[in-house]
Amino acid sequence: MISLETFFSIPILVVSVAAAVHATAYIHGEARRHLVRFWGFFPATVASMLAVVHVGGKLQFLLAWEAMGLASAGLVAFESKEKSVKKATWIYLLACHAGACALMLTGVFQMRPDAWIAAFAFAVVGFGLKIGFPPFHAWLPEAHPAAPAPASAIMSGAMIPLGFFGLLKFFPIARLSSFDAQVYGWTLLALGAIGAVGGILFSLPQSNLKRLLAFSSVENMGVVSMGLGLGAVLYARGDFTPPALLAIAGALVHILNHAFLKGALFLGAGSVLRQTGTLDQDRLGGLLRRMPFTGSLFTVNAFALAGLPPLNGFMGELAIYVSAFLAINTGDPVLASAGFLVALALALTGGLAATAYAKSIGCAFLGESRSREAADAAETPKRMYFAQIFLSLFSLAMIPGSVYFIHKFTGGFKTEIFIMTAMVGFTFVAVVVSLLLLRRFICPRGKMKPRLPVWDCGYDAPTSRMAYTATAFTQPLVDLFRPILKSRRHVQPFKGDPAAPSGAAIATETDDFALGGLWRPLFSRAARLFQRVHLLQSGSLHLYILIILIAVLALLVAALVS
Amino acid sequence: MNILSVILAALLAPLFIGIVNQTKAFFGGRRGPGLFRLYRDLFKLVRKSCPRPQPSTWIFDISQSVSLASVIAAAAVFPWAGFGLGSTMVPAVLFFYILAAGRFFTVIGALDAGNAFEGMGASREMQFSTLVEPVVFVVLGFLVILNGDVSLSSILSGVSVETWRESIVALILVFVAFYAVFLLENCRVPFDDPETHLELTMIHEAMLLDVGGVDLAFALYAAALKFMLLAAFLVAMFIPQSGNAWVHLASVFGGVAFISLVTGVVESVTARVRFFKTPQMLLGALLMASLAVFFLACF
């Protein structure tokens, strides 16, 4: 079996190659003036990610980790003229430094064997800030839309899973005691379940395509975390090693699948932005006709990432599902409740993810063009969609690849299920092809009618303004989960003559719960608190010397007393 | 035997829709369209040309074929005669996810037409199918506890008379919960009305407004097949395993005919609920299924 280091290098290398090719065309026009900045930070980011994976020792790891944060912050800040980008960079830097700080504390506590819980808690915070555990995910939906698409692709596909690399490297499940493994497992499981369901729930109402994808990364990392957590919980019991390995294998496979799929989706979103100038799904539409390659690739990848068979996104989830059902079947109440929690969270996540991706495909790429920009869009330069094809080939290879990986990782436990799943998927595709041939035979091209206007209750000239919008598509579910999502509606009522009303508008906006509800109040309160300490920073040298003197004396006394 | 039973199922599927409609006609005091109406409709539609809406792309063209293929693939692995084509190795999760994959294509095909009604139908379809998913998986968890394995044929290996006697309450709760799933997935009253003529109140039918000819035949046939498939799932969950494949096959189809009859009666005597009530009903079904798991585990 390959080592942890090699495993986590795969997404870094693959996604960064595709992202680099895409970036050569993505940065165009005015932005080319800052080309040097991009090509400075991009290799630095990739190199530091590889360093994180390959260096030995805690200090080196910390330095590489910090370098990775700084280099990628340079990428996020690429279009730093815009105010939103500045804000996003700031939030991202804060998250990186807070994470590094927590990791330093982890290192300190790891020196004492009896402080395992504290070390683990700080590791969850530190690595969780990179992975996007709730509520530490707040930087993801800010930084991903702000960063250039190739940077988002490597950050979402390859960088955030490195948090799991850190967790697995410094807290290997196999070396935990039974109690520690329980704590470890339930923490990851609970955070994963909240992250998966919460992440995809918040991605639903987003009209910005990249913001939707960013929240979907929170969801997918939640799925991975649930797999690892379930594995640890099962492992802690001792007797259930094969199902535990199955859950962990599912989580690891999902990391790879997510990397290739999400990388391709972010690149696709970047192509859309380059050709239309907008990412607002309510202003796109009909792009599949204008950009057939980009659109088809986005559709296939989004279908796969919705976790639907026969494509690769389903494989990892299936392994976690099977493991969850095996946990239910053990009869042990603790394991059974863990299994039910995972199965329920995965089921809800699957449904919501399908809705979110149906929306992004349907509203951005299908139907009528909703704006002039979308109607005038043209296909991208070839190398942009070649980059996506490159990643999609890896995704395709991951269908048998997932089966093989799970087989190797679990030592052949329930392999027949996964082989059968791949075969059923193949049958499914074969049936699709034969039905399409049948359809063509029954209804040859000559018998096809010319395209007709759609049915709009007899109205013969429907326009794009009558089409269902992305916001409307998700409105029922968003309304249902209103207590959590807290979407805000800006309604501008009809004005003027009721016979010829004009100027009515409605807009909805869903802000991140963690950022607005937790971090912003927390930080503003902290700022107010530190205002008082501000007295000390008077600028008077005498005061500073006094403080140093007191500190040295206190240390001396402390040393003498102990 | 396996392939034979799948072909038999494929041939019989439209008949059960006929049973539902004939029952409804009986309750409405009409003569009804006859048991074989859907067969005739399908033959008629196949001969017609395929209209396609103006803004549509290849997604619209393939959507109905993919949707039908998903149901066929699910039917192919279903253990009609107590064991299907390798269904001892098919995880039950896959069965429902394949159906979801087909639904995904129906939905994006509907969005491809670029019209408000189809968007509305697609939106509602996704909403309800999202909410129904947790119910399905709690029921699957129940079946796993009951039968001890995750493969499709073992969770559908039925309930012995002994188990019926011991945990009848839990079984009835699960039956009701899954019957709600069955009605919703097949777009029947009280969740959706296949006979409504108002675009604003449609769910499944709204997504097919611009589908015609052979595509509509595919869509109608897929709906009939899915109806039969989920009814068979419901039946196979509960009938005792006889050991004889032919007896099992006959009892599954008999059970499906009975479920069709019941569905016809339910549709005749209940009205459709408001859309806003549907999530509450699904929550009720989820609670029933969870309660069943609790009863099974603790009593």
Helix (H), strand (E) at residue A370 = none
Please report the pLDDT score of residue B108 as a whole number: 94
- Exposure on the CB side of residue A469, measured as CA atoms within 13 A: 18
Distances (CA, A) of A494 to A160, A490, A505: 46, 13, 8
Are A455 and B115 a contacting pair at CB < 8 A?
yes
Determine the pLDDT at residue A7. Answer: 95
Nearest in space to A378 (alpha carbons), one of A289, A297, A296: A289
d(CA A352, CA B106) in angstroms, rounded, equals: 16
Check residue B179 and give its pLDDT. 96
Rg, chain B, Cα only: 19
Mean pLDDT check: name the lowest of A47-56, A465-474, A497-506: A497-506
A547, exposed or middle or buried, with CB in 10 Å at 0-12, 13-18, 19+? exposed
* pLDDT at site A385: 95
Task: Reply yes or no on whether the pLDDT at A560 is more than 70.
Answer: yes
Q: How far is A561 from chain B (nearest CA, A)?
A: 59
8 Å CB contact between A477 and B130 = yes
3-state DSSP assignment of residue B52? coil
**Structural domain boundaries of chain A?**
1-170, 175-444+465-511, 514-561
pLDDT band at residue A317 under the 50/70/90 scheme: very high
Q: Which pLDDT does position A264 carry in this prediction?
A: 97
ipTM tops 0.90: yes
Looking at residue B84, its pLDDT comes to 59
Do A354 and B144 make contact, defined as CB atoms within 8 angstroms? no
The CB-side HSE value for A340 (13 A sphere, CA atoms) comes to 22
The answer to whether A196 touches A222, Cβ cutoff 8 Å, is yes
Q: Structural domain of residue B212, as residue ranges?
A: 2-298
Residues of chain A with pLDDT > 70, as a percent, come to 99
- Average pLDDT on A499-520 reads 82
pLDDT at B86: 63
| Contacts with B161 (C-beta within 8 Å, 6 or more apart), sequence order | B240
Q: CA-CA distance, B231 to B223, in Å (whole number)? A: 12
Query: Distance between CA atoms of A542 and A544, rounded to whole angstroms?
Result: 5
pLDDT at position B81, please? 81
A415 and chain B: CB distance < 8 Å anywhere? no
* Interface test mutation site (partner A, options B131, B137, B293, max chain A beta carbons within 10 A): B137
| Tokens 């209804």 sit on residue | A443
Is A2 part of the contact surface with chain B (CB cutoff 8 Å)? no
A-chain residues near B142 (CB < 8 A): none
SS3 B53: strand
Candidates B114, B120, B149; nearest CB to A454: B114
What integer is the mean pLDDT of A339-365?
Answer: 95
pLDDT in tens, chain B (299 residues): 778 888 999 999 999 999 999 999 999 999 989 999 999 999 999 988 888 888 889 999 999 999 999 999 999 989 888 765 566 788 899 999 999 999 999 999 999 988 888 999 999 999 999 999 999 999 999 999 988 888 888 888 888 888 888 889 999 999 999 999 999 999 898 888 888 878 888 888 889 988 988 999 999 999 999 999 999 999 998 888 777 888 888 999 999 999 999 999 999 999 888 888 899 999 999 999 999 999 988 87
Average pLDDT, stretch A495-512?
A: 78
Q: Does A437 touch chain B (CB under 8 A)?
A: no
Q: Is the pLDDT at A291 greater than 70, yes or no?
A: yes
**Least CB-CB distance to B113: which of A343, A454, A457?**
A454
Q: Is B50 on the interface with A (CB under 8 A)?
A: yes
Task: Tell me the mean pLDDT in the region A541-551.
Answer: 91
Distance from CA of B261 to the nearest CA of A (A): 30
CB contact set of A222 (below 8 Å; sequence gap of 6+): A133, A191, A192, A193, A194, A195, A196, A197, A198, A199, A345, A349
| Residues of chain A neighbouring B93 (CB-CB closer than 8 A) | 318, 321-322, 325
Chain A CB contacts of B118 under 8 Å are 454, 468
Q: Can you give the pLDDT at residue B184?
A: 93
Give the total residue count for chain A: 562
Q: Are A177 and A329 in contact (CB under 8 A)?
A: no
In chain B, positions 229-268, which contact chain A (CB-CB < 8 Å)? none
Pairwise CA distance, residues A262 & A301, whole Å = 8
Mutation target to probe the A interface, by most A beta carbons within 10 A, among B144, B185, B296 is: B144
The chain A residue lying nearest B148, using CA atoms, is A329
Cβ-count burial B48-87 (b if 16+ within 10 Å, e if not):
bebbbbebbbebbbbbbbbbbbbbbbbbbbbbbbbbbbbb
Please report the pLDDT score of residue B87 as a whole number: 65
Residue A6 has pLDDT above 80, yes or no: yes
* Mean pLDDT computed over A466-493: 87
Report chain A's terminal Cα–Cα distance, integer Å.
51
What confidence score (pLDDT) does residue A213 get?
A: 96
Model pLDDT for residues A77-115, shown as the tens digit of each residue: 998 888 999 999 999 999 999 999 999 999 999 988 888
- The overall average pLDDT reported for chain A is 92
pLDDT band at A33 (very low <50, low <70, confident <90, very high): confident
B173 CB burial (10 A radius; 0-12, 13-18, 19+) = buried
